[in-house]
Chains A and B, each alone.
Chain A
């Protein structure tokens, strides 16, 4: 008995996924292809949605967070700023600066005193480099003990280097020494609304969280630290009352502004290829805080469900393309290509729509790739494989 069309479709589907697996295995492990690989690896379809499909005219203002720009982190200046800001009872002051070691005695003592005077201060720390052998973070890099004695610390690392797009962050990490650390944004949000962080912990635990960027620097209240120190008026300080304050490097957003502590994000207008980093670390932290406080997380399908969807999608397409191959052999090429284009367009639109309106991210790149490959694999199967394996043919099949 000849195999049914479903059996053929299953075999072709399996071939497609085997080819995709082989291509990924080969290309992603050959150093020669590195530039190509980097481009592909650092790209997600939702980047297009963040960078191209948002309405740039609309700015969703965030009133709970104030960003304070510090051009040069002179310790005496930071101490004066902390005293000024702290005098207006902010909910929390996040200092996105690592004060490694001791420098001048006067500046150090002023800063230590300012931190001790302001219990609302959260200092930046860093995760120590990942230990490959022990498979974990061995410890933390804190500011000098002179400053951390009286203050909390939270790590400012994102799940990406300065050369990659920052999409994820780890809200909590347990180091190899058993210490449970929290991210800078989480520590700030916790000081403002602990219940929201409880919700985050319940939903994600130690798993990475995708950052739902609500916008760039324009949506946050901003103050220049130097101007604050130079003015004698009291009124400019009123902005800090009951707000989350983040001190860090937040220069102008011009292309020629310093690259220091500046990262690629999905909001970058150039979503593939070369471009300039578009967002300062402090603004990313502010976006994280805003996301946690609003509870506006990005929903993701579990990997198994995405894989199942891709397989079903491919299988159905192979069934149709295979049928076209046999029933419309003369117009196989044209009909299949048009069908692929229309499907790609519709599915891209659907993925975009789900992300835009429901914050549901579906990674359907494998399904798209399978759809593109289906045309050729059906032809290879029919003209090459099937002819050589009699078991796949009806007794009268040529």
Chain B
């Protein structure tokens, strides 16, 4: 009996222990490890084992990747990260059977009826859309502007709140040169920026991103897991020094536009023209203005929901229809 117990448990004792000590797989920039086994603050480099329950401190532009057991963590934002938080929870493991069933389900959805195809398409939107780096609906929900082209007008940048954040840092960056055009810190979850006052070049591509300035206890994202709602999502947009009325000229000249008594219908036509010209933020405003005029107009509600769905704001779109 004893022999059986030894044979069963010896491998468990022999394996796994060294792998559980976090190992730094990649380190760039200024990174320190404070309060570890040595009790001192030590600089962190690739190949260092992070022993004890210390705290990682990342400077500006630093990045770090570490593995403990088979858990992978990547840190790219400046801040302090207690090691106990980074590897506190076991990553949610999906078994082989689950992954197999998911794979078959996706395959069936993509080869089924037109309705299924649409659903599969929507589920894959996050990866398919060119202007977003990967988070799909979860990463885009509540973010505005969410891509397209922007006018040189006051624009409200909006993002969802993060409970752990004390403030937010928003950046507007030139996507080609990575030059930072603007950095601002705010306590709110929105910021009004007059784009005509920024040094933006006509027809250039930029992205904006927002980082919650996390309290010490907040955890960074683990690669592959559901990321925090806003951190790290880059939203690309094109800036065009063009007049709004110029874009709307083909619509405002129409007899239907001039002849209608309904302001809501005018906003609807404008929204469609703006979306057609890729001015998504302006189109969104036009839909909202239309809804403000006639909140119960089913045509505007459905057109707005369809617009939101097309641009990855599916949760909002669903709510818009379900409240009816």
Residues on A facing B (Cβ under 8 Å): 48, 52-61, 63, 66, 218-224, 227, 233, 235-236, 238-239, 345, 349, 352-353, 356-357
Contacts and interface: CB of A to CB of B under 8 A. Distances in A.
B196 to A, nearest CB: 30
Contacts of B45: 233, 235-236, 238-239
28 contacts: A53-B99, A55-B99, A57-B71, A57-B72, A57-B222, A57-B225, A58-B71, A59-B67, A59-B70, A60-B70, A61-B25, A66-B46, A66-B47, A218-B25, A218-B223, A221-B26, A221-B46, A221-B47, A222-B25, A223-B26, A224-B28, A236-B45, A239-B45, A239-B46, A239-B47, A239-B48, A345-B104, A353-B96
Contacts of A356: 96
B103 A57 contact: no
Given A220-B25, A221-B47, A239-B46, A61 B93 contact: no
B94 interface: yes
Interface in B89-105: 91-94, 96, 99-100, 103-104
A56 B92 CA distance: 11
Contact of A352 (B19, B71, B100, B224): B100
Contacts of B72: 57, 59, 218
A392 to B, nearest CB: 38
Nearest to B92: A57
Which 5 pairs of residues, A with B, have the shortest CB-CB distance? Answer: A239-B47, A59-B72, A61-B67, A58-B70, A236-B45
A330 B18 CA distance: 65
Contacts of B46: 66, 221-223, 236, 239
A223 B23 CA distance: 14
Given A345-B104, A349-B100, A353-B96, A58 B91 contact: yes
B47 A58 contact: no
A179 B43 CA distance: 49
Contacts of B223: 218
B289 interface: no
Interface of B: 19, 23, 25-26, 28, 43, 45-48, 65, 67, 70-72, 91-94, 96, 99-100, 103-104, 222-225
Contacts of B43: 233, 235
A233 B23 CA distance: 20
Given A48-B103, A235-B43, A57 B94 contact: yes
A57 B93 contact: yes
Contacts of A224: 28
B65 A61 contact: no
A61 B103 contact: no
Nearest to B73: A59
Contacts of A58: 70-71, 91, 93
A227 B61 CA distance: 14
Given A57-B92, A58-B91, A238 B19 contact: no
Contact of A55 (B47, B93, B103): B93
Q: Most chain-A CB neighbours within 10 Å: which of B25, B28, B43?
A: B25
B67 A219 contact: yes
Contact of B91 (A52, A57, A227): A57
B117 to A, nearest CB: 17
B94 to A, nearest CB: 6
A78 to B, nearest CB: 19
Contacts of A57: 71-72, 91-94, 222, 224-225
A332 to B, nearest CB: 24
Given A53-B100, A218-B223, 17 more contacts: A55-B93, A55-B99, A57-B93, A57-B222, A59-B67, A61-B70, A66-B46, A218-B65, A218-B72, A220-B25, A221-B23, A221-B26, A222-B25, A239-B45, A239-B46, A352-B100, A356-B96
Nearest to A63: B23
Nearest to A269: B127
A352 B26 CA distance: 33
Q: Most chain-B CB neighbours within 10 Å: which of A59, A236, A345, A356?
A: A59
B14 to A, nearest CB: 16
B16 to A, nearest CB: 12
B202 to A, nearest CB: 23
Contact of B47 (A233, A238, A352): A238
Contacts of B93: 55, 57-58
Nearest to B70: A58
Contacts of B47: 66, 221, 238-239
A359 to B, nearest CB: 14
A58 B69 CA distance: 9
Nearest to B224: A56
A63 B49 CA distance: 11
A220 to B, nearest CB: 7
Q: Most chain-B CB neighbours within 10 Å: which of A66, A222, A352, A357?
A: A222
A227 B28 contact: yes
A223 B47 CA distance: 9
A287 B257 CA distance: 64
A99 to B, nearest CB: 26
